[in-house]
Amino acid sequence: MRGLFATVLFCGVAAAASAQAVSPPSAEDAAAVEAALAKVGPSLVRIHVVSIDYQDGRELKREASGSGTIISADGHVVTNHHVAGKTRAIRCTLASREEIPAELVGTDPLSDIAILKLRPATPRRFPVASFGDVAKLKVGDRVLALGSPLALSQSVTMGIVSNTEMIMPGMFWPFNRMTLDGEDVGSIVRWIGHDAPIFGGNSGGPLINMQGEIVGVNEISLGLAGAIPADLAKEVADALIRDGRVNRAWIGLEVQPLLSSSKAPRGALVGGTIDGSPAAAAGFQSGDLLVKIAGRDVLVRFAEEVPIFNQLVMRLAVGKAVEATVLRNGAEKTLTVTPTARESVDARIRELPLFGITASNLTSWSAKELKRSTRDGIRVRGIRPGGPADDAKPALRPDDVIVAVDKQPVGAFEALERTIDGLTKSTAERVPALVAFERSGERLLTVIELGRPGLEDPGLEARKAWVPISVQVLTRELSEQLGLSGKTGVRVTRVFGGSAEAAGLKVGDVITALDGNPLEASQPSDAELFATMIRQYKIGSTATLTVVRDAKELTVPVKLDTSPRLPREMKKYEDTNFEFRVRDIAAADRVSARLPADQTGVLVDAVREGGWAALGHLADGDMLLTIDGDVVPDVEAVQRKMATIAEAKPRTVVLKVRRGIRTFFVELETGWR
């Protein structure tokens, strides 16, 4: 789905290029725009989220941004489900540039609407934008798209309404079904098409009329932008604020427009019914023409009319029988159907790290799709490559349904978690578990070694003899220019100290032999020759170098050092709360970054995407100097300091960082939970 949005938004960017040729608005227009903006601008918010996605059996966090509008004085914000529906953290930047944390109140993938609630430090009233009457909107009306395109500060673009009944064009098949979490958004949404350029980041922002009222919530761009109509957005927003969810009716009737060959003046063609659904129980048959339901006449001639019919059905009262009239073989027939509560198509996906999978409960929909008679079991959604489930024989695969672990039936996700917990809580070792699962009607057994992946010690580097200098090959050309024609060897370019300094080696020395053996280096490809020859010696032994210095040949005995520890061998600490890793400074770091010998601190080794450290823009390679004002000379100091921070759980943590030649402070915001 994310891929589809990327494509869709890409089209929006392309459209923007041609929009640059539009002439600037007149003074009158500018005044009208200003007046409309004055009404909505103060309630516009930029939304910065850490969104959750699932890939390869893992939960992934990503930073993303979108737009929203404050629609209640106590801080409810309407935006898109695809902006904020699946998040770990949400922060909103108001028009005043204040940044305020927010939480998700409810989300509805079917309409792609989500509601957030601003959580300021102290309760307060917020400026509110109001919804307009979409019924009054006409093709050609001017509209403004507000939001935070490309995560920039609040911006506005202008266009006209191009279409008030925009649907996904059939020619874009298979993309004309735009699904979010399995829900077909186009099944109830007819977008307001408009040509105000929108970009990634505009999602969730308001489309307003020139009266400064919200007429839509921007969602997609197919070249033409598409906004969810305000009436639908408001209905969903009210339900989410009131109930935290949208309760809809379902009868399981598959309806399509009348065939072009049909001469029927009314009705909608019944394609079929879902097995076990209220419509099937009521006796609907494929080929029926539905002409009336719950007292409302039905006419679906075109694809544009299907969403309206679906909305009508979804608004029926759950559990209350209604009459439907169908034409079957030319005769009217009355059927009685009792809607049930509509279930989400998809259940929430969660990660089971000890299994190495992502999984979800079965919904009625997914059970039907997998041709299962019950909803008992856990549906495998993703497999972590190389993880326990992938390593099992046979390995699990997506869409397998786990039905028992350790001979205990697992009807739902929570039961599986309890079983895993029971098996693994008393040991850090891997625990083999017998797992029963279903695949395409087969019931299979496998053994999964439950265990959490941990980074292995990458192993020490072999220690070898070393002369702490760097050298370059004495090429034929260099030797001629330096008056050393006929000589081969290497030229000292840097002395790092240690035994080389003690032996008196100097930059510019040309080493021509080692213990009397000529150093036959004359090509760039011989660059390793000196170091390789040295590596053949025992650590601590003495090698005698033949050196040419100032046109005089010297013999320089050098006691060989031990090769230094590599950066990867240095002591490390990984902070799981802020999701970054640091290590002690290695000798190689001091050389490459030319750090002074007394430089203390730790180097940032990894910053996990979407973690608090990444959100604060800490980066790999940064040198951490202080944490909340305390100097951290080494990894142990960082570990101690972070332990006290984990205990105290402050709202922010301030790091002093050196990056290149610059020093600055990084403020990490936290969301302890």
Residues labelled catalytic: 82, 112, 203
Neighbours of 180 (CB within 10 A): 24
Quick check: 477 binds other proteins (CB under 8 A)? no
Q: How far is CA 280 from CA 328, 374, 596, in A?
A: 15, 18, 79
What CA–CA distance (Å, rounded) separates 502 from 469?
A: 12
Under the binding rule (CB under 8 A), the answer on residue 458 touching other proteins is yes
Among the listed ranges 11-19, 135-143, 451-459, 648-656, the one in contact with other proteins (CB under 8 A) is 451-459
- Comparing CB distances to other proteins, the nearer of 305 and 561 is 561
Q: Which stretch binds other proteins (CB under 8 A): 191-199, 313-321, 330-338, 603-611?
A: 603-611
Residue 309 or 612 having the CB closest to other proteins: 612
Is 3 a binding residue for other proteins by CB under 8 A? The answer is no
**C-beta separation of 229 from 191 below 8 A:** yes
Is 473 near other proteins (CB under 8 A)?
no
Binder of other proteins out of 240, 246, 548, 607 (CB under 8 A): 607
Please identify which residue in 622, 638, 656, 668 interacts with other proteins, judged by CB under 8 A: 622
Does 528 bind other proteins (CB under 8 A)? Our answer is: yes
Q: What's the rounded Cα separation, in Å, for the pair 455 and 621?
A: 20
Among 245, 315, 443, 463, binds other proteins (CB under 8 A): 463
Report the alpha-carbon angle 586-587-592, nearest 5: 100
Under rule CB under 8 A, residue 650 binds other proteins: no
User: 334 vs 525, which CB is nearer to other proteins?
Assistant: 525
Collapsing DSSP to helix, strand or coil, 589 comes out as helix
User: What is the C-alpha to C-alpha distance for residues 352 and 417, in angstroms, rounded to an integer?
Assistant: 8
Burial 608-619 (b: 16+ CB within 10 A, else e): bebbbbbbbebe
Count of residues touching other proteins (by CB under 8 A): 43
Query: Using CA atoms in the order 187, 54, 382, 168, what is the torsion angle rounded to 10 degrees?
Result: 20
Q: Using the rule CB under 8 A, is 457 a contact of other proteins?
A: yes
How many of the other CB atoms lie within 10 Å of CB of 545? Answer: 26
The least distance separating other proteins from the CB of residue 568, rounded to whole angstroms, comes to: 9
- DSSP summary character for residue 355: T
Residue from 39, 535, 565, 590 binding other proteins (CB under 8 A): 535
Q: Which one of 153, 493, 532, 663 is in contact with other proteins (CB under 8 A)?
A: 532
Site for other proteins in 358-387 (CB under 8 A): 384-387
* Cβ-based nearer residue to other proteins, 251 or 490: 490
Q: Are strands 183-184 and 142-147 parallel, antiparallel or unpaired?
A: unpaired
Answer whether 635's CB lies under 8 Å from 583's CB: yes
Residue 533 contacts other proteins per CB under 8 A: yes
524 binds other proteins (CB under 8 A): yes
Taking CB under 8 A as the criterion, the residue among 275, 442, 456, 550 binding other proteins is: 456
Residue that has been written with the tokens 């609040």 in this structure: 154
- With respect to other proteins, which residue has the nearer C-beta, 180 or 614? 614
Is 525 a binder of other proteins (CB under 8 A)?
yes
Site for other proteins in 383-422 (CB under 8 A): 384-387, 390
CB 474 within 8 A of CB 485: no
Decide if residue 28 touches other proteins (CB under 8 A).
Answer: no
* Alpha carbons 132 and 113: distance in angstroms, whole number: 17
Tokens 């941004």 label which residue?
A: 65
CB of 501 or CB of 609, closer to other proteins = 609
Q: Are 614 and 579 in contact (CB under 8 A)?
A: yes
Q: Is residue 561 part of the contact set for other proteins (CB under 8 A)?
A: no
CB nearer other proteins, residue 210 or residue 527: 527
Q: Verify binding: residue 56, other proteins, rule CB under 8 A.
A: yes
Min dist. Cβ of residue 458 to other proteins (A): 6
Contact 601, 627 (CB under 8 A): no
| The dihedral sign for the CA sequence 416, 418, 423, 427 | positive
Nearest to 267 by CA among 188, 346, 330: 330
Q: Is 29 in the site for other proteins (CB under 8 A)?
A: no
Where do contacts with other proteins occur on this chain (CB under 8 A)? 55-56, 58, 384-387, 390, 453-464, 520, 524-529, 531-533, 535-536, 566, 604, 606-609, 614, 619-622
